[in-house]
Amino acid sequence: MMIRTGAAMLAAAVLLPGPVLGQDGSELLSSSRQAVTELTQQLAVQLKAELAKGGPEAAIGVCRDVAPEIAGRLSRARGWRVARVSLKTRNPLLGTPDAWEQAVLADFDWRAASGEKPETLEYAEVVQEPAGRYYRYMKAIPVQPLCLACHGNGEAIAPGVAAGLRADYPHDRATGYAVGQIRGAVTIKQPLP
């Protein structure tokens, strides 16, 4: 199956073409969803704890240090790539999407703008790449009110937070969001036999 960009990309929330249909496909989807849940729940616990202790300025370190650590641990434990990506990256070294991820993120934006609930947006597909065959999965990360302290527009970001973001992320593009928009996605890439 070919990925198309923009609005014409897909109509279904999850697409499992060809050989992964059936039990194997449902297992791949289930394990991907489980990994996303682990990442997002562990990150949420850490963020809430840091916010309670030191406010948004302290929480910057959670996204900078803890989120990649959690994703790395999940990746190593499963033998997959688990990461967070965005069309508006904060850290280009860790969050820049590849072409497939860019197309899915663009589609998530279109689907959310068309009225689909951002928290339900996901997409899965088996792809053939030069290095082999992969099961690819993405789950949208919708902007929550809490996110605006670091990802909102200029007025929503406190001066101390803005200074911390400039210091840690000199190439930051991850601001200007509103609640309900798609901030990015958790992406999973599983090698297939």
Please tell me the pTM assigned to this model. 0.86
pLDDT in tens, 75-110: 999 999 999 999 999 999 999 999 999 999 999 999
Average pLDDT, the chain: 88
Inform me whether the pLDDT recorded for 7 exceeds 50.
no
Q: How confident is the model at residue 3 (pLDDT cuts 50, 70, 90)?
A: very low
Give percent above pLDDT 70 in the chain.
88
pLDDT in tens, 15-24: 444 444 444 6
pLDDT in tens, 50-80: 999 999 998 999 999 999 999 999 999 999 9
- pLDDT reported for residue 156: 81
Neighbours of 99 (CB within 10 A): 9
Measured on CA atoms in the order 6, 9, 14, 18, is the torsion positive or negative? negative
How far is the C-alpha of 61 from the C-alpha of 53, rounded, in Å?
A: 13
